[in-house]
Structure 1
Amino acid sequence: MSTDREQYNQFWEEKWDTNTIFWDFGKMQIALKELIGGNKFHIPKGNCIVPGCGHGYDAIYFAQQGYKTVGLDVSISAKKAAEELAAKSNVPSGNLEFVTADFYTYEPPSSLFQVAYDYTFLSTVKPKDRELWGQKYADIISPGGYLITLIYPIDFGSSNDGPPFQLNIEMCHTALDKNFTLEYEDRDPAKEPPRETSCIMAVWKRK
C-alpha cells in the first residue's frame, strides 16, 4: 500500500476513533429501500459487498433481504460500531460479515460478488483514483452482476478539494463504461430528512 493510501486510511480511522462522523445520519437511505424492497429494479440474490460501509446500515439491510453480505471499511472503529449495530438487528445467521480492509487491496475470500453498493464511498475517492475505483469494482463483480450507485453529493462539495468530492453521473460513466453498462437511472429517487439534497440512483451491469 502506498504512503498516500496509508495516510488516507488513517484519516478515516481517526474520524471514527474520535466520533467525528458528521456525515452519519443514523440510518440507511430510503432510495435503496425503494429500489430493492419496492422492486424498482430486480437485483438477483447473491454475494454482496458494501465498501465504506461505516456503521453498516446498508450492509445490514442487504443481509436482511437475503444477500450474503460483506461490509467493508478501512476503520477498525467503524467495524466495531457496525458489529454492535448488527448484533441488535434482525440479521439471518451467516448472511453478514464486516471486514477491515482497504478496498483497493481487498480480495474476495472465495468467489466474486454478484452485487455491490456504493453510497458516499465514491465521494471520498480522490479524482485521480476514480479510474482505479471503477476497475476495482470490475475486478470483484462477476460478469452479469450489478453495481448499485447512489450518487451523492451533487449539489455541494468540491470537485478537487474533498472529501466530500462533488459528483455527477458523467464521472461514473468515465470510470465505469469500460466494464459496465448503465441499466437503470433515477435522477430523482426518494429522499427523507435530514438528507434531502439531490442524488442519482444508478444501476450498472458488469459486462
Structure 2
Amino acid sequence: MSELHPWADRYREEETPWDLGEAHPELVARIAAGDSAIIPPASGGKALVPGCGRGWDALALAQAGWEVTALDIVPDLELLVSSRLGPYGSTFHCGDFLNFLDCNSKGERQYDLIFDHTFFCALPPEQRTNFGLAAARLLKPGATLCSLVFPIGRDPALGGPPFGMEIADLCNCLLPLNFQLVNKIENVPAGKDSEWSAAWVEFLFSSY
C-alpha cells in the first residue's frame, strides 16, 4: 500500500467494505419521507458530500434535486462518479474536505447542505476539530449538516479507520462553532452485516 495514496490503493484492490453498493438506506428513507433537512429548497440548493467514494449517496441527493459537489481525495474515482452525477448537473471534485475552499465570486459560502457518511469516522480523533472548522467555512448561515453516525459502540482501542464515533463526538466539534443539534434518530440501519449501530443526526448552522 502506498504511503501517499492508501485510499486509492484500497479502491484499486476492491478493499472497500464501507461501500454499500447503493445509497445508505436511511438517506433514501429520509428523502422518501420528505425530510426538510435533506430535500432541496424550491429555488434549488447546493450540497457537498465529503469522502464520496463511488458516489452512491451523492447520486441519491442529485436525484432528489440537489446540485451536488462530490468530494474525494482519490483521483481514480473521477470518471465513475462524474458519469453518475453529470446527467443531474452535479460534479466530482478531487480534494481534501479539511482544506477545501469553494466560495462564489463574492467570497460567500456556497453550500446549503453537507452530508457525511463514512468521512468523519475515517478521521483520526485528533483531526475531528478540523472537520467542524471546514464545515463552518463552507456552509451558508441557515444551512444543514446531516451525518450518519457510525460505528457507534466500536472500542477505541481497535483504532481505525473506521474510528469509533458517537453523537457526542460530532457535538463536541460542531456546537462550539454555532451549530445546533436539531434532530436525532437512533438505531438506524448500519449497513451490511455490521456489528455496530448507527444514528442519523441533523445540525443547523447559524454563522461563524
Please indicate, yes or no, whether the TM-score normalized by the shorter chain is above 0.5: yes
Q: CA deviation at 1:27?
A: 0.9
Is the 2:20–2:191 Cα contact (8 Å) retained in structure 1?
no
Deviations for 1:82-121, whole angstroms, at most 9, x for unmatched residues? 234446xxx43x2x10010111221115242010000110
The one-letter code matched in structure 1 to 2:9 is: E
Q: What letter corresponds to residue 25 of structure 1 in structure 2?
A: L
| 1:102 equivalent in structure 2 | 96
**8 Å Cα contact 2:54/2:81 also seen in 1:** yes
Q: CA deviation at 1:22?
A: 2.5
Equivalent residues of 1:152, 1:200 under 8 A apart: yes
Q: 1:193 to 1:148 in 2, by over 3 A?
A: same
RMSD: 2.2
CA contact (8 A) 1:41 1:184 kept: no
> Given residue 65 of structure 2, which amino acid in structure 1 is its aligned partner?
G
**1:50 counterpart = 2:44:** no
Partner of 1:71, secondary structure, is: strand
Q: Which residue of 2 aligns with 1:122?
A: 120
Query: What is the CA distance between 1:171 and its match in structure 2?
Result: 0.7
Q: Structure 2: 5+ residue runs without aligned partners?
A: none
C-alpha separation between the residues in 1 aligned to 2:191 and 2:159?
A: 27
Report if aligned partners of 1:183, 1:203 keep a CA contact under 8 Å in 2.
yes
For normalisation by structure 2, the TM-score amounts to 0.85
Matches within 5 A, 1:1-207: 7=3, 10-43=5-38, 44-45=40-41, 46-86=45-85, 91-92=87-88, 94=89, 96-110=90-104, 111-156=109-154, 158=156, 161-179=159-177, 180-190=179-189, 193-195=192-194, 197-207=196-206
Does the C-alpha gap of structure 1 residues 120 and 157 become closer, same or farther in structure 2, counting only changes over 3 Å? farther
Aligned counterparts of 1:117 and 1:155: Cα–Cα separation in 2: 22
Count residues in correspondence.
196
User: Structure 1 unaligned runs (5+)?
Assistant: 1-5
| Contact persistence 1:71–1:97 (CA under 8 A) | yes
1:1-45 Cα distance to aligned partner (Å, 9 max, x none): xxxxx95x6221221233222221211111111222212444443
Q: Aligned AA for 1:72? A: L
* Partners of 1:47 and 1:112 within 8 A in 2: yes
Secondary structure at the residue paired with 2:163? coil
Query: Which SS does the other structure have where 1:164 is aligned?
Result: coil
Give the TM-score taking structure 1 as reference length: 0.85
